[in-house]
């Protein structure tokens, strides 16, 4: 009934990798983020990565349903017409698209890991040699991270848009 979503789910499920899906309902563990995908352990041989995908249910329930203008180049796929489980399915599809890309393409996995490492470095305000980053250096790194984020989001947003149409037509 939802071929795009099912394809992603079975690609991930039938892989050799360890992928956890967590549904977080405790509002104390949630921010405004709908979901996240974390690479907990990357297998250098590429056989068995450990990846954890979390859906933050209260944030998804609260998400504004209508169309939104892209912000700093980031597109939004609306929630309009979807309720509860179908909202979760749309967000799950987005995260599964990230995961299936990571499993298929080592370059994409590397991109996601680089974003994560850079975000930590900027949050800590230090370079890898321990030197504190200047304000300008922080800004430069932040805008570089954003370009990487936009690149990594492209395939996930495309999959999410396909799944959104599918969920709307096959309720």
Tell me how far, at minimum, the Cβ of 37 lies from Zn ion, in Å: 7
Closer CB to Zn ion, residue 57 or residue 156?
Answer: 156
Closer CB to Zn ion, residue 23 or residue 126?
Answer: 23
Interface positions, 24-63, toward Zn ion (CB under 5 A) = none
CA dihedral 159, 162, 164, 167 (to 10 degrees): -120
Interface positions, 146-165, toward Zn ion (CB under 5 A) = 153, 156
Tell me how far, at minimum, the Cβ of 160 lies from Zn ion, in Å: 8
- Is residue 77 near Zn ion by the rule CB under 5 A? no
- Dihedral sign for Cα atoms in the order 156, 162, 164, 167: negative
Each residue 85-124 as x (binds Zn ion by CB under 5 A) or -, in order, gives: ----------------------------------------
Q: How many residues bind Zn ion (CB under 5 A)?
A: 2
Reduced to 3 states (helix: H, G, I; strand: E, B; else coil), residue 32 is coil
Closer CB to Zn ion, residue 86 or residue 101?
Answer: 101
Tell me how far, at minimum, the Cβ of 135 lies from Zn ion, in Å: 28
Closer CB to Zn ion, residue 122 or residue 149?
Answer: 149
- Dihedral sign for Cα atoms in the order 104, 116, 157, 86: positive
Q: Where are the alpha helices (DSSP H) in the chain?
A: 3-13, 57-62, 84-104, 106-124, 135-169
CA–CA dist 168, 171 (Å, integer): 6
CA–CA dist 74, 150 (Å, integer): 6
Residues forming beta bridges with residue 22, ordered by sequence position = 54
Give residue number: closest CB to Zn ion. 156
Q: Which residues bind Zn ion (CB under 5 A)?
A: 153, 156
């Amino acid at each position: 009934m939802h071929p795009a979503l099912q394809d992603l789910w079975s690609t991930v499920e039938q892989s050799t990798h360890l992928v956890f899906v967590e549904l977080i309902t405790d509002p104390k563990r949630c921010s405004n983020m709908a979901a996240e995908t974390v690479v907990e352990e990357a297998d250098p041989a590429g056989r068995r990565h450990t990846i954890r995908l979390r859906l933050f249910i209260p944030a998804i329930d609260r998400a504004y349903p209508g169309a939104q203008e892209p912000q700093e180049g980031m597109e939004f796929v609306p929630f309009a017409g979807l309720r509860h489980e179908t909202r979760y399915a749309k967000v799950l599809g987005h995260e599964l698209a990230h995961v299936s890309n990571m499993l298929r393409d080592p370059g994409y996995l590397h991109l996601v890991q680089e974003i994560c490492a850079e975000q930590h470095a900027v949050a800590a305000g230090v370079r890898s040699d321990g030197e504190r980053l200047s304000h300008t250096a922080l800004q430069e790194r932040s805008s570089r991270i954003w370009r990487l984020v936009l690149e990594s989001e492209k395939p996930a947003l495309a999959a999410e848009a396909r799944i959104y149409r599918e969920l709307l037509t096959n309720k």
